[in-house]
Structure 1
Amino acid sequence: MLAVSYQRVSTGEQVGEARSGLDRQAAAFAAFCSRHGLTPAPAAVVDEGVSAFKGRHRREGGLAAFIAAAMAGHWPMGTILVVEDLDRFSREVASRQQALLLGLFDAGVALGVCRDDRIVDRDIYDTNLAVRLMLTIRADAAHDYSAKLSERIDASWRHRRERSLQGEKIAGFRPFWCGWDGADYVLNTHAATVQRMTQLCLEGLGLIRIAQALNAEGFRTAKGRTWAYANVHKVISDPRIVGDRPWSDGTVVPGYFPAVITRAEFDRCHKLITLRNSRKGQVGKGDAIRNLFQGHSYCTCGRLLSYQSRRSRSGETLYEYLTCVGKRHGHCDSQNVKYDEEVILRALMRERWRHYFTASDRRHEDRKLRQKILAAEAEVAKHQAQAERSQAQLGSLLGEGRLSAKAANLIAAQVDQALAAASEAQEALQALQRRQAEMGAHLTGLELEEAIHGQVEKFIAESLQQPEVRQRFNAWLLASGVRITATDPVRNSWAMELDGRHHQAWALRYRGLPETVVEEGLSSVVAVALADSGKISQEAVPDWVREAADRKAQDFSARVERRLSSAEA
């Protein structure tokens, strides 16, 4: 008869490099076949790291595949599935185990148990009461053991959770980029891997490319293996890299671990990954080699521009252009735009990126945050002082021996209340300080402008004719949030946006005008428009700026009307 070995271990640690659990089961199978004169199947059915307590192995594991194949007739009738012990077959409640066993019999397969040195088929199960009782008792014992183990593990996790909520650190309870110095968590050498991973993501690389870059640069996982995109996604999406400790019930302990990156970087990475996933199928990957701005150039209707070219019979490019994808379905009638990389790159370099962020708005937010921090520090000091006074009063009265038990309990409760209020105020202060540190990491408008200009110059110096450089430039556009809109196809005029905010929002109704006309009267007009649209706070725009904006807007509108009248004439 043919015998098939079913080997299962519940955790990845049991698989390990030594494979002690699987090797032990394989040895028991070989001895069982020898004793019963069975023919071993060349390959075993193996479930690595799959628990049988809740039946996962019978729904999606190797056992499920084996039973399905047997039901389909791919295994001969009378085949014996051999397990080391009954608990390898299942650890569910007795009724579930019985149903699984009867399903095995329905597929024409018998069960062999090495520990009992017994083969059970349907005839033996139906006619031998002792075997049925033995299997039922063993099923109950297997499930009871797993249930108690699960309860102990759950209780242990609940205890750990309560300890972590109280601020206690646990040595063996940390991510791979954290070490232990005997009292607290510290970043180890793997933190550099996480930082490099974040940097690559912020540069616009996808998960697969990040994994490839990490492997090429010699970075390895905690187990010394090469990186795969799934590992990268797991780490870069882990809130513990910014110091948070999340729990399954939704509770989050901020600042529990040392932060590897800032929260702003973490949020940006998450946004970029979401953006890349939302754009799947919209544009072809190969277009980034031909179209430097693939996925970032838009028509005035809001749809993407697609790269097109006309070639001679010899393959020589005659001309290149960008066309709105909406034209394919009759949703847009805009003209095609000549594809001229030099024109668009000059527009990138000429853009006044500093106008995306106003210094007054930044100073206003900084000032408000500093005021909140000072107030929080005062609140902490007040509650700590109150606790110290109550403790001193309690000690003095106790020393004089003129304190009743009721009064002592009352003062002790006041001390506890003051300490709890001080702890709560301290947490609020730390949150404000973290916010201040994150704000300090943000680029100012001038720094942003210099960074974009420097990056464009760097890519041009590296020769944008090289495919890998073009792809990196395209990825950088994604990371920086740049959006390029063809405002005038005839003049090949382009407008730049950053994260959906157009610094010429006040002049959108005059699209198509020459850039020199649109740029007249920026400053105060821009500030008012951004404040009215909610992009910056109203407090950042004083009255005199609004008055100047009104005068400029009226003067500008008059000049525009004159230009339009001249053009029509």
Structure 2
Amino acid sequence: MTAASQHSGSTAQDRTKKSVEEVTRIGFSYERVSTKSQVDGVGLKRQHDAFEPFCQRHGLIPNADPIRDEGLSAFHGTHKSKGALGAFIQARRDDLIPAGSVLVVEEWDRFSRRTTSVSERMLHELWDLDLALGIVSQDSIVTEELYNENIGLSVMLKVLQNESNAESSKKSRRIKNVWQERRDSYLNSGKKFLSLSDAPKWLAIGENDFVPAPLAETIQLIFELAAKQGLSSVQIAEELNRRGLSTATGGTWGNANVCKVLRNDQVMGHKCWGDGIISQGYYPVIVDAKTVELARENVKRRYSAPARGRTTRKNGELGPCRNIFKGLTYCCCGAPMVDTSSHSGKYLDLVCSAQNDGRDCIVKSKQRWKVDEELLLRAFMDRRWERFFKNPGTGPRIRDLQDRLLEQERLAGELRTQAKAAEDNASKAFTQTNADKDLLVFYGELAIKAKKQANAAEDKTKQTRAELEAFQALPDGADMKEQIRIKLEEFLSLPNRADPEVRNKFNQWVQTLGARIIFMNTNPVRVRITLKDLPIDHWWREIRPDVTDKQLLNSIDDVYLYRRGDDCVIDQTIQDLAELRATPQQITEQREKLESSIPVPKRIKSPTFTAEEAGRLSAGARADAVDWAKTA
């Protein structure tokens, strides 16, 4: 070994590792202000200007684009749940941000103003993702190793966390007190606080009071359409968009914001204060109480009507469930697949409810499946349930408990370590002569609080472990697969699957399985059978960001369904190729070849189409023929 290759106290491997870390260590500037009014101030510029000098001092490569949250609170955590900070953390989970990167903030309170326990969890979340936190005001980069080794740093962060949270809590209390004074002022003297922040979007401020704004006419129209014409919230939204009327923010209307308006008592002039007291007549009355009541009754009547996919007899009893998999069938756009019949109920189709209601769907062609109940039942029966879940109703629950237990064990261990460190710090402080009294109190309170948190975390871990063990004691996946097969074969062997009671009971049972049938296409028919908490490509990333592509592939069955003659064919060729790691081009070529060979499906009579209904249809056809002959 030459002198040039030697390095005191380190190996070549250590130097290589260090070299890689130095090259890939990137600094990302996180800049935040709590209110929109602060955006035009100097706060964001000051934070931005401090970033590059900090990177130079610590050998970081500064990323050119800042991560910025404007008008999002670190006290309520909206910067993480809705803002760019949360997006940055998710990008790291998706490996879009390199490991070893440093999130740089001007002060601790830019990162968090939440309670100490929540702030600690946020910090540990960064460390778990191989990230570090740079704090410009402290001129330091906080890594997990430094935090554990440097007691002074950990105490300093606790102080910063307490100060930041205390300051925001104080402001929050002041704001609440101000609003209470405004409420008391109105109740005692009738004086209102005129501000658009305290008024619904359909009002403006006049000379001495609130007055209706142009949007008020749209609000009145919403209640008129619901009360007088009996339209649903979806139909109201469509009508508003057809007329070119926009929301308060200039967007299009949808089911959610129409429902929100219909539920809002402010249209009747009511003001609900923070403590629950309601002041009637505080705002101008936009819609009278009678119209509001009628509109809400019509909406409620629609929601309480029998669900789609079922029919009712004249006496109101629940009729046969036409779609035997009702509650499990979805279009790949996320909307439920609902049933619609033709030829007086002789044939049944499943259609995308979004397309049916005129809403957007990611599938450009018409999602309409000519229902072949036996084919879908056999496909459902033959799935690889043993790898899907432990037990039909508990598979998703077991995974949730396992994830929760791992997190709780990690948190309990961290809290126990922190409690031990706090106790050691307190013991050392009490043995020192001329120790600062306030510091002794702080260390003592910190040790007691840390111990309580650690005990509470361990109790939660024990509860979760006991619950998990109880679920794991249930029958395994192979047993459940056999039970599903037996249940479906029994149903298929019934001489009359149209019996209303039998169909409704079967549908109730199948909904307990925790499964989902997703129609990726209906021409030809391609479905994914999966679990409710592992939906399809563009959903599951948002719902379960922790699930990898491989885990997803292991939790779905992607099949083509068709008939050759009287034989039911369930073709899983494409998924098998994906699991064998075929190239995208190979998969595309095989898919095109398969789809071109699938025959056009024939119409299958709906099992709920009884002989009695067939007789009525035949009689109706004969009557139509007689009427036509007379006319001719």
TM-score w.r.t. length of structure 2: 0.41
Please identify the structure whose Cα radius of gyration is greater: 1
TM-score w.r.t. length of structure 1: 0.46
